[in-house]
Amino acid sequence: MLEVVLRRLFVMPFLLLGIVTATFILAQFTKGNPLVSIIGAKALTNPEVVAAAKKRWGLDRSIPERYVIYVKNLARGDLGVSFRTKQPVLADLAQRLPATLELVICAMIVGAASGLLLGVISAQFHDRAADHAARFIALLGSCLPIYWLGLLVLFLFTVQLPWLPGPGRLDLRAEQIEPVTGFMLVDTLLVDSWNAFVDAALHLVLPALVLGWSVTGIVSRMVRASLLDVMKQDFITMARAKGASATRVLVHHALRNALIPALTILGFTFAYLITGSVLVEAIFSWPGIGSYAVEAARALDYPAITGVTIIGGLGFLIANLLTDIAYAAADPRMRGAAA
Amino acid sequence: MTVAASLKSKSIWPGITLRWSSATLIFALFVIISFIVIAVTIPLWSPYDPVGMAGRRLQPPSALHWCGTDALGRDVLTRALWGTRYSLPIAVFVLGVAVPVGVLLGTAAGFFGGIIDNAVMRLADVTLAFPPVLLAMAIAASLGPGLVNTAVALIIVWWPIYARLMRAQVLNVKKLDHVDAAVIAGAGRFRILFKHIMPLCWSPILVNTTMDVGLVILLASGLSFIGLGAQPPAPEWGQMVAEGASNFYSWWIALAPGMAIFLISISSNFLGDALRDVLDPQVKLPA
């Protein structure tokens, strides 16, 4: 176990450098003139303004020089300044990260719970109608375009049936909550505002369900395959022979073993959730990293785009590392084993 | 994971039985063939002009405009039908480049090993270290918005998946006895590769490619939705959903294009499942 984790840790810096280099190379292919978005098209005719801007953003150096500057800056946590918000990209991202994390964590819970339930139903009723139905429901989640589904449920449940609040994290008319942790569900409780907490929770319902459903299929497929595999093994037959009830066999004997392989896909799920959150945040006006990325891409705000990409890659690396550690910790055979 | 051959049959009427797997396959073939036919023939029978005004703005669905009209008075159904001419070619183009490139590099990595293997796989690792949408967004943004650039971005995101898949396949097949036998019989390296290894590697590639048609269309239309892919007034599905989002109360604008994306993506899934059953019931793909 330790070896697996250590090997991961060892390659992480190299992957990180790869990520950084890849984003730098990408930035070199930039077609649009970034100067336009810094100083505006009008000032392009003024050579002094152009020279000053170039110097400030390091655009007048050679490419290798720029690369060194770039890596040095990154190592200090300097992702540059956004052309659009005029703020350091890192500060922008830090401010928006909690919103995305809150959404992604809730969606992960939705996806894992629904995937587990459907996967168990699928395996228990292998190749019967319930199996097909469960798999179909899971498949729908991954085939429906998430931004379209978001749009439809938003219209359905806020306009046609006004049960839930509209987009955003809180009712705009409500009093503003001072961000402490940035997690709305926590912040509202910190100021003892029960109404605001309910409001924040209701705002989370639609985006979390839509985003969570998109990964249900990944989880349920894994749970189903893994459970079917375990159910064939001798110790299950043994448990049945000893007279354990079907529920007991499932919960105490099969599920515990089947869930360990299912853990391995959590990191993979994270990539899907990030992908989905970009689109879901755009639909639900969710002020997170995803909508920041969309705004940056639309405005061709390169430092911001690069920053989001690097942070996304870093987050993905960490998610995979955590998955490995969780896997190793959950499987007793991996504990203390050499590999 | 596989729809086993021993599905419980359900009788619809005497003498004819329909299995779930056959039903989904028929559905998938119907959708895919219809979409291809629409894409090819739409200029001949287009109900309205896809980019011109067809009636009053923002009309709800009616007998005249089955899916209503959008904010510029264009017929939504007509535009959705024309949308096949964007999404299908982009899927064909992206996979048509990404799969051969990935297969070629993956084969080289698996067969020759050593430095080629390391170079290809580390490149794949770095590409796969990004959440796909972010990398695609970054690439599409730096190349400039547009459908072709989106396709290029998706190719860059997609090839490593096939390189990894093919490498794993080649490594597995390389260990089989018949390859040793061929080596002993004195077959040349390339003869072994093309005659004895590669023919056994195709099925997962084919299954994955079929399933990825839906994924490519989903991601490409997603990029168009956020404004990086097809630009207005192109009747591209993701771009149409975006128009629907900016006319929130006219729900019908987004309905048809979203449905089209959904139909093609679920069909490609069903078809992939069916292919897997036919080609190799033993094969297990990474999730």
Ordered domains of chain B (ranges, CATH) = 89-233+259-268 (1.10.3720.10)
Q: Which of the residue ranges A24-28, A141-145, A147-151 would you say has the lowest mean pLDDT? A: A24-28
CA distance B238 to B249: 18
B225 Cα to chain A: minimum distance (Å): 8
Least confident of A59-63, A154-158, B253-257: A59-63
d(CA A303, CA A280): 23
Alpha-carbon distance of B55 to B62, in angstroms, equals 12
Tell which of A31, A148, A218 to mutate to test the B interface (max B CBs under 10 Å). Answer: A148
Mean pLDDT, to the nearest integer, of B146-168?
A: 93
Q: How many CA atoms lie within 13 A of B286 on its CB side?
A: 12
Task: Confirm if A111 and A219 have CB atoms less than 8 A apart.
Answer: yes
User: Residue B11's pLDDT is what?
Assistant: 47
Decide if pLDDT at B212 tops 60.
Answer: yes
Quick check: B9 pLDDT over 90? Answer: no
Residues from chain B contacting residue A147 (CB–CB below 8 Å) = 222, 225, 238, 241, 245
Does the pLDDT at position B6 exceed 60?
no
Per residue in B82-114, pLDDT (tens digit) is: 999 999 999 999 999 999 999 999 999 999 989
Question: Distance between CA A185 and CA A183 in Å, rounded?
Answer: 6
| B194 at A interface, C-beta within 8 A | no
Which letter, b or e, does each residue of A135-167 get, where b requires 16 or more Cβ atoms within 10 Å of its Cβ? bebbbbbbbbbbbbbbbbbbbebbeeeeeebbb
Q: What is the mean pLDDT of chain A?
A: 85
Residues β-bridged to residue B69: B75
Q: Pull the structure tokens for residue A97.
A: 């990260």
Two structure tokens written together for A328? 């190793």
Measured between alpha carbons, how far is A208 from A108 in angstroms, rounded to an integer? 8
* pLDDT 10s digits, B26-72: 999 999 999 999 999 999 999 899 988 888 888 899 888 889 999 89
Which one of B129, B138, B219 has the shortest CB-CB distance to A15?
Answer: B129
pLDDT tens digits, one per residue of A247-262:
888 888 898 888 887 7
* Whole-number average pLDDT of chain B: 87
State the CB neighbour count (10 A cutoff) for residue B282. 8
CA angle (B274 as vertex; A125, B131 as ends), nearest 5: 85
Task: Using alpha carbons, list the distances in angstroms from residue B168 to B135, B171, B201.
Answer: 24, 5, 9
Put simply, whether A155 touches B (Cβ < 8 Å) is yes
- Token pair for A35: 């100067």
CB-based contact (8 Å) between A36 and chain B?
Answer: no
Q: How confident is the model over B223-234, as a mean pLDDT?
A: 89
Instruction: List, for residues A79-132, the tens digit of each pLDDT value.
Output: 878 878 888 899 999 999 999 999 999 999 999 999 999 999 999 998 888 999
DSSP string for A65-129 = HHHHHHHHHHHTT---B-TTT-SBHHHHHHHHHHHHHHHHHHHHHHHHHHHHHHHHHHHHTTTSH
Contact B125 A32 (CB under 8 A): no
How much is the average pLDDT of B113-139?
89
Region B239-246: mean pLDDT is: 92
What is the per-residue pLDDT across A167-223, written as a single tens digit (0 to 9) for each?
888 877 766 777 788 888 888 888 888 888 888 999 999 999 999 999 999 999 999
Is pTM beyond 0.80 here? yes
Which is higher by pLDDT, A177 or B175? B175
> What are the residues whose beta carbons fall under 8 Å from the beta carbon of B194, sequence distance 6 or more?
none
The mean pLDDT of A139-158, rounded to a whole number, is 93
Residue A193 near chain B (CB below 8 Å)? no
Can you tell me the distance from the alpha carbon of A117 to that of A255, in angstroms, rounded to the nearest whole number? 11
CB contact under 8 A, A145 and B238: yes
Mean pLDDT of A306-316: 88
* Angstrom distance (rounded) from CA B221 to CA A143: 13
Q: What is the pLDDT of residue B146?
A: 87
Q: Considering CB atoms only, which of B138, B258, B269 is closest to A23?
A: B138
Paired strand residues for B13: B16
* Cβ–Cβ gap B144/A31 under 8 Å: yes
Is the CB of residue B131 less than 8 Å away from at least one CB of chain A? yes
Q: What distance in Å separates the CA atoms of residue A114 and residue A112, rounded to the nearest whole number? A: 6
Residue A146 contacts B, CB cutoff 8 Å: yes
B139 by Cβ neighbours in 10 Å (0-12 / 13-18 / 19+) ranks as buried
Residue B45, Cβ neighbours under 10 Å: how many?
8
Provide the pLDDT for residue A35: 66
| Interchain proximity B130–A313, CB inside 8 Å | yes
Whether the per-residue pLDDT at B285 is higher than 80: the answer is no
- B206 contact A CB<8A: no
Provide CATH code, domain A91-161+208-338: 1.10.3720.10
Of A26, A278, A313, the CB nearest to B139: A26
Count of pairs with CB atoms under 8 A, one residue in A, one in B: 163
Residue A315: which residues within 8 A CB-CB, separation 6 or more?
Answer: A270, A274, B131
pLDDT at A338: 43
Locate the domains of chain A by residue range: 2-75, 91-161+208-338
At A43 the pLDDT is 65
Q: What is the percent of chain A with per-residue pLDDT over 90, rounded to a whole number? A: 35
User: pLDDT digits over A17-45, tens only?
Assistant: 888 888 888 877 775 566 665 665 666 77
Q: Report yes or no: A151 at the B interface, CB cutoff 8 Å.
A: yes
Q: Count how many residues are written for chain A.
A: 339
Q: Which residues from chain B sit within 8 angstroms of residue A149, using beta carbons?
A: 258
Measured between CB atoms, does A314 come within 8 Å of chain B?
no
The mean pLDDT of A300-318, rounded to a whole number, is 86
- At B270 the pLDDT is 94
**CA-CA-CA-CA dihedral for B71, B72, B75, B81, to nearest 10:** -90
Give residue B199's pLDDT.
87
Given this model, what pLDDT does residue A36 score? Answer: 63
Query: With contacts defined as CB-CB under 8 Å, which chain A residues touch B269?
Result: 139, 142-143
